[in-house]
Chains A and B, each alone.
Chain A
Amino acid sequence: MLKKYPTLLRASWALMLEFRGEIVMWMMSSAIAFVMLLVWLSVAEANNGVVNGFASGDFITYFLISWAMRNLTAVWASWEMDAGIREGRLSPMLLRPMHPVHWDISQNIAEKALRACLVVPVVAVVTLFVPGVRIDWSISTVLAFGLSLVGAWFILFWSDYLTGLFAFWTSQVEAIILTWFGIRLILSGMIAPLAMFPASVQTALYWLPFRYTNSFSVEILTGRISGGELWAGFAIQAAWGLFFFVVSRIVWKIALRNYSAVGA
């Protein structure tokens, strides 16, 4: 299977280049992080510069990395699945001698490469020129961050794929996708650092998957997490990734057994 990936990735890269305008547009929808940052800065200013241990620079750093994470882990396989089933495009994909998901994965990787071309310069410029931005650039931290990024993507991709599979049974998948996204937006730390939530919510979020799709990686790169906590975090992240992977595999098998295609 891995031998097919170079070809798949080349085709995906060519496809994604065609969508470069759209990709910039999708990135714009993550501008809410910037809006929330401005409000936190204004709250910090009104409270002698510090809110709950976060100074202005900490807020900028947090939202910068959280925004980068959001863009480097964006997934949309569920939308493709929904449209593919509704328009009958899934059927020819099933006839190919490989699982259709490999096409989704390779497209996602190619799109991530394209997004990185915009995300990396923004992070570099802000880190260099905005005072107060503190990122822990030590090798071990960066490696841990990279690993957590892959883990976050893994949870997001397979949970998104799972929501897409509902398209085999209902035409209202869009509502399911957006509900999952809305919950994720709040609970993963994309609109506010999780440290700002009430303690009870934080305890619950420690065990739920959401933190491990965004906030966890930010905490690593800002040096707010280390040692045993770090390993525990990786363990929970891996468990959730495995959970969504296995469940979506099972649901896929059940779905295919009952599937009668549009146009058949």
Chain B
Amino acid sequence: MVKYIKLLGVFIRASLLTELEYRANFIAQIFLGLLWAVVVWVSVLIFFAHTTTLGGWEYAQVLIVVGMFSLINGLIECMLAPNVKRLIEMVRLGTLDFVLLKPVSSQFMTTLRYTRFNGIGDFSAGVLTIIYAFGQMTYRPSLEAIVQFACVFLMACLTVYSIWVFIATASFWLVKVNNLTELFRSIYDTGRFPITTFQGGVRFFLTYVMPIAFITTFPAQAFLGKLDAATTLTSVAIAAITFIASNRFWNFAIRNYSSASS
């Protein structure tokens, strides 16, 4: 475990050193991230010109969800999307074999190897949005709320990671998994709104089938000190189940993988 955390540190440092070679791109990515955060913010703000609450959430509270949405989107674009893109290439060219020979978990090595600056602007915008939202409220999170948030947020990250492992693994069978990442992004777009905004079947789907609610709404709710213990425990369960299932799926794929180079 310690070895993996150290390795992750080395991976991130090495990738960032490479990225810093492209300064114009770095600035463009920050600009784009901030711009995109504004687009997301306006798409939520427009509703508040005609209503005072969205799914029972007030404006400042919704901003916490918006912030979580941008923040996690930034993490996806920085850490997960570049690796899935590269994995597709490796399967196509047969260079995945070199990764499989290394004495570390192949899933770890392929899904977390490269970090890009693509989402750095979204990430920063997300953090800024959350700070701004708390500035608009008199509420201050208690220590208990912060601990609960940390737990649910960690579980959200784990869930997102596992979903992306599923998408990445599909590339062993489908050469064009772009369709799947695009599908995920379309569904993830709902995450900028509190889950209670959606009704019936859509809400059920976004909570239990594709657990977007556990990624943006529930961490925000924990921060606001309004998340019950049952949902907190469910978030742990969902993260654990998706993580174990995605790992099984990965191992199954690797066992059945006959390389393009052999």
How far is A38 from B187 in the complex, measured between Cα atoms in Å?
13
The range of chain B's interface size is 20 to 34
Q: Is A31 an interface residue (CB 8 A)?
A: yes
- Are B189's CB and A47's CB within 8 A? no
- Are A182's CB and B28's CB within 8 A? no
- Are A43's CB and B54's CB within 8 A? yes
Partner of A39, one of B42, B47, B185: B47
Measured between C-beta atoms, what is the minimum distance from A31 to chain B in Å? 4
Interface residue ranges of B1-47 to A (CB < 8 Å): 24-25, 28-29, 31-32, 35-36, 38-39, 42-43, 46-47
Q: Is A83 an interface residue (CB 8 A)?
A: no
- Are A42's CB and B197's CB within 8 A? yes
Q: Is A174 an interface residue (CB 8 A)?
A: yes
Q: Which of B175-183, B214-222, B253-261 contacts A (4 or more CB under 8 A)?
A: B175-183
Q: Is B199 an interface residue (CB 8 A)?
A: yes
Q: Is B164 an interface residue (CB 8 A)?
A: no
Residues of chain A contacted by B29 (CB below 8 angstroms): 175
A24-B179, A185-B39, A196-B50 as given contacts; A32 in contact with B28, CB under 8 Å: no
- Are B47's CB and A35's CB within 8 A? no
Residues of chain B contacted by A39 (CB below 8 angstroms): 47, 54, 193, 197-198
Determine the main DSSP class of A at the interface with B: helix
A36-B43, A185-B39 as given contacts; A25 in contact with B197, CB under 8 Å: no
How far is A28 from B180 in the complex, measured between Cα atoms in Å?
10
A31-B189, A52-B50 as given contacts; A192 in contact with B43, CB under 8 Å: yes
Nearest opposing residue in chain A for B43, CB measure: A191
Interface residue ranges of A163-188 to B (CB < 8 Å): 170-172, 174-175, 178-179, 182, 185-186
Partner of B35, one of A24, A179, A192: A179
How far is A31 from B186 in the complex, measured between Cα atoms in Å?
6
How far is A152 from B202 in the complex, measured between Cα atoms in Å?
33
Measured between C-beta atoms, what is the minimum distance from B24 to chain A in Å? 6
- Are A29's CB and B186's CB within 8 A? yes
Residues of chain B contacted by A198 (CB below 8 angstroms): 49
How far is A38 from B36 in the complex, measured between Cα atoms in Å?
21
A39-B54, A185-B39, A192-B43 as given contacts; A21 in contact with B179, CB under 8 Å: yes
* Proximity bits, A34-52, B CB within 8 Å = 1, else 0: 0110111011011100011
Q: How many residues of A contact B (CB 8 A)?
A: 35
Measured between C-beta atoms, what is the minimum distance from B42 to chain A in Å? 5
Q: Is A197 an interface residue (CB 8 A)?
A: yes
A25-B178, A186-B43 as given contacts; A175 in contact with B31, CB under 8 Å: yes
- Are B25's CB and A172's CB within 8 A? yes
- Are B186's CB and A42's CB within 8 A? no
How far is A179 from B43 in the complex, measured between Cα atoms in Å?
16
- Are A42's CB and B199's CB within 8 A? yes
How far is A132 from B120 in the complex, measured between Cα atoms in Å?
43
- Are B202's CB and A38's CB within 8 A? yes
Residues of chain B contacted by A35 (CB below 8 angstroms): 189-190, 193
13 contacts between A and B (CB under 8 A): A29-B186, A31-B189, A32-B189, A35-B193, A40-B47, A42-B54, A42-B197, A46-B51, A172-B24, A182-B36, A186-B39, A191-B42, A196-B46
User: 6 closest Cβ contacts across the A-B interface?
Assistant: A175-B28, A31-B186, A172-B28, A192-B46, A25-B179, A182-B39
14 more contacts with CB within 8 A, not counting A25-B182, A175-B28, A191-B42, are A28-B179, A29-B185, A38-B190, A40-B47, A42-B198, A43-B51, A51-B51, A172-B25, A175-B31, A179-B32, A182-B35, A192-B43, A196-B49, A197-B49
